[in-house]
Amino acid sequence: NAGVTQTPKFQVLKTGQSMTLQCAQDMNHNSMYWYRQDPGMGLRLIYYSASEGTTDKGEVPNGYNVSRLNKREFSLRLESAAPSQTSVYFCASTLRQGPGREQFFGPGTRLTVL
Amino acid sequence: AQKITQTQPGMFVQEKEAVTLDCTYDTSDQSYGLFWYKQPSSGEMIFLIYQGSYDEQNATEGRYSLNFQKARKSANLVISASQLGDSAMYFCAMRTNNAGNMLTFGGGTRLMVKP
């Protein structure tokens, strides 16, 4: 049981390049989330998927797209990377909606855009 | 809109002493959950403790307890008998039904445990 896995762990991009961050969970969770964490700050939600087949914008969605490929996988795409997207990206998942369940986090992807 | 405020950017505590990390929240929802996460220097997010808005008793998990004062909208984390391994960033977070079930995080508190 690997929990929430993310690839890659580190990535350096040049401005304007594109890339996809991959996330997978093996806990049969319904909901999945993408957050970003800037230095010295808390996490902010980029997009989330409450269930397979649905995606919704979070607090900071501009410059990103997501795909809920199936129940296990939720990817985040940067179409044209900008230096402002330099951050640590966390994927998370939870079993059900409602206030009661904690979110399980992946190890993070550290992205630098030059 | 939901908001979490952690007013202590950094704190020191002596090893084996107790420490309280402050968290206040703002929401108009009646049903919500409050969470604390630990982020060590390695970067992963580790769930510590959860308190539901309708829970009558304060949550406890080992050395962690949550001092929940609903009328004051505060959810402070108390760590008893601090250990060197407790040195980390600590984040308070809230989730409500109306917010699409996302977690709203505070800015965090860096705790440093002195030997």
Which chain B residue shows the shortest CA-CA distance from A32?
Answer: B102
Which residue from B70, B91, B113 is spatially nearest to A41, judged by alpha carbons? B91
Which among B23, B102, B104, B109 is the top mutation candidate for probing chain A, defined by the most A β-carbons within 10 Å of its own β-carbon?
B102
Q: Which of B95, B100, B107 sits opposite A99 (nearest CB)?
A: B95
pLDDT in tens, B39-90: 999 999 999 999 999 998 999 999 999 999 999 999 999 999 999 999 999 9
Question: In Å, how far is B49's CA from the nearest CA of chain A?
Answer: 9
Q: Mark yes or no for CB contact A97/B97 under 8 Å.
A: yes
The residues, ordered by sequence, that sit 6+ positions from A55 with a Cβ below 8 Å of its Cβ are A47, A48, A49, A66, A67, A68
CA distances from B10 to B15, B38, B112 (A): 16, 14, 8
In degrees and rounded to multiples of 5, residue A22 shows phi and psi of -105, 145
Q: Mark yes or no for CB contact A50/B35 under 8 Å.
A: no
CA A37 distance to own-chain centroid: 11
pLDDT (tens, 9 = 90+) of chain A, 114 residues, equals 779 999 999 999 999 999 999 999 999 988 899 999 998 888 999 999 988 889 999 989 999 999 998 999 999 999 999 999 999 999 999 876 555 678 899 999 999 999
